[in-house]
Structure 1
Amino acid sequence: MGMEYFGNKLKAVRKAKKMTQAEFAKILGVSSSIIAAYEQGKNFPSVSILIEICKTLGVSSDYLLGLSDEISIKLGGLSEEEAQAFLQLIGLFEENRSLSK
């Protein structure tokens, strides 16, 4: 699993939580460009920032890092399977958008 994989999952979960990059960055105490770099697969967060990302989004680091496909966040009462499908769909839209640019 590469940096882009982490970035796609991070972006999908952030968007599912209805947070902008700016809002997310403010919560984490970093700049929006740092969040953009994570999501574009240009950089990985430090361990301390990764922990804060997981706490803020309510998701495991195993999920974001690709060690597990199980996601533990709750999205508006969706089952775990429905939430997983929803996040995969968001990821596909984002991947398609980046390919068409």
Structure 2
Amino acid sequence: MIHGLGERLHNLRRARNLSQKEVSSALGISASVLSNYESGERTPSIENLVALSSFYRCSTDYLLGIDRSTTLNVSNLSETQIQLLQAFLSTIK
């Protein structure tokens, strides 16, 4: 279990006024799985952690409690890399 992960997931979802059903549907997981993540009963796989990070537009470091910032720092990326990242993110909305 990753300390605080569930609370961070819950807070991110609530901050966006989304239901568990809406988030789970967008990620292709069941609402009960998302509920278990948020309650700390289950830990997401690496794939689902990355999907959650992309969905909420935050870093996996934030979700894991390594970084307290919810935004992704792109200052070291080139303009082309930023455009590619934006294009990728638009495909998973």
Relative to the length of structure 1, the TM-score reads 0.67
Q: Is the CA contact 2:3–2:65 (under 8 Å) kept in the aligned structure 1? A: no
Whole-angstrom CA distance in 1 between matches of 2:14 and 2:57: 13
Aligned pair count reads 72
The root-mean-square deviation of aligned C-alpha atoms, in Å, is: 1.4
Whole-angstrom CA distance in 2 between matches of 1:55 and 1:17: 14
Whole-angstrom CA distance in 1 between matches of 2:40 and 2:7: 8
State the shift of 1:4 in Å: 4.8
Write the mapping of 1:1-101 to structure 2, written as runs, cut at 5 A: 3-72=2-71
Q: Is the CA contact 1:9–1:64 (under 8 Å) kept in the aligned structure 2? A: yes
Which structure has the highest helix share of the two? 1
Bigger Cα Rg: 2
Q: Is the CA contact 2:13–2:19 (under 8 Å) kept in the aligned structure 1? A: yes
Whole-angstrom CA distance in 2 between matches of 1:27 and 1:4: 25
Question: Which structure would you say has the larger RCO, counting Cα contacts within 8 Å and 6 or more residues apart?
Answer: 1
Q: Is the CA contact 1:37–1:43 (under 8 Å) kept in the aligned structure 2? A: yes
Runs of 4+ in 1 over 4 A off after TM superposition: none
